[in-house]
Amino acid sequence: MNTMMARVRSLSSFTRLALALVSLAYLLQVLTPLRLVGDGIDYLLEASSAMDGGGFRVHGESTIRRPPGYPALIVVLAKAGVGYSWAIVALNCLLLGVGCWASYLLLRRSLQIETDAAQFICLMTLLSSVMIRHVTYPLSDISYFAASSICLLVLLSAETDVLVRRFWRLIFVLPLIAFCIELRTVGITLIPVLMWATIGGQDGARTIVRWLWDIDSDPGFYCSDCCCWRP
């Protein structure tokens, strides 16, 4: 048992050290050039068009396939005077960190995963070739990962909150969900999660089912409806 506990502590220490080193490696990518791919070039063109007052367009044409959320972030950077390649990479790194932090809390609170295991999953996420590659691209993937993870974290808390606190959490998360949809159209998948949290999760669903069952099994309800109805 002592040997096993020592191994667990050793693995935990290794995971934390690896997280620190990998995070540092990501920060060093801020010093590297911005990598351009097809969609990334279009995002930059949309941001440039918006800066010139022409709206989020590519060569004068609107792009329905790509929502304007990520180009809007680039415009914000440009308006702040830091519309440079290093700032875009730094923003991606920051949002990746936020997304991993929110995912860690989701793993701990929703799936009840142990701290060490949750940290290891976050480490594996950072070591993913997709994340390593996309952090230097002007693409919406990482920003959506961060925003959607925060939405899920807030909705998870709202699901079990008392009614008043749930209301305020839902008010907070509504514009964030709208922003997720503006980042990527797949953000509409957050709407069912919003509805589930609004009714109070499993407890709320059971209450609604019981209420509907009581109505269905109460003949007086239908009798009163029939008496009130006039042709």
Instruction: Considering only residues 48 and 222, tell me which one the structure prediction assigns the higher pLDDT.
Output: 48
Rg for the chain, CA atoms, rounded:
24
What pLDDT score was predicted for residue 3? 55
Closest alpha carbon to 25 in 98, 120, 89, 103: 89
Residue count of the chain = 231
6 half-sphere exposure, CB direction, 13 A CA radius: 3
231 half-sphere exposure, CB direction, 13 A CA radius: 0
pLDDT band per the 50, 70, 90 thresholds, residue 211: confident
pTM for this prediction: 0.83
Q: Where are the domains of the chain?
A: 2-197, 199-231
pLDDT band per the 50, 70, 90 thresholds, residue 187: very high
Among 9-13, 22-26, 128-132, 155-159, which is the least confidently predicted range?
A: 9-13
Could you read off the pLDDT of 2-12 as tens digits, one per residue? 454 455 456 67
For residue 62, what is the DSSP state? Answer: E
> What percentage of the chain has pLDDT greater than the value 70?
85
b (16+ CB within 10 A) / e for 205-216: eeeeeeeeeeee
What pLDDT score was predicted for residue 226? 45
Could you read off the pLDDT of 74-129 as tens digits, one per residue? 999 999 988 888 999 999 999 999 999 999 999 998 888 988 889 999 999 999 98
Residue 62 CA to residue 163 CA, distance in Å, equals: 42
What pLDDT score was predicted for residue 60? 66
Instruction: Considering only residues 204 and 6, tell me which one the structure prediction assigns the higher pLDDT.
Output: 204
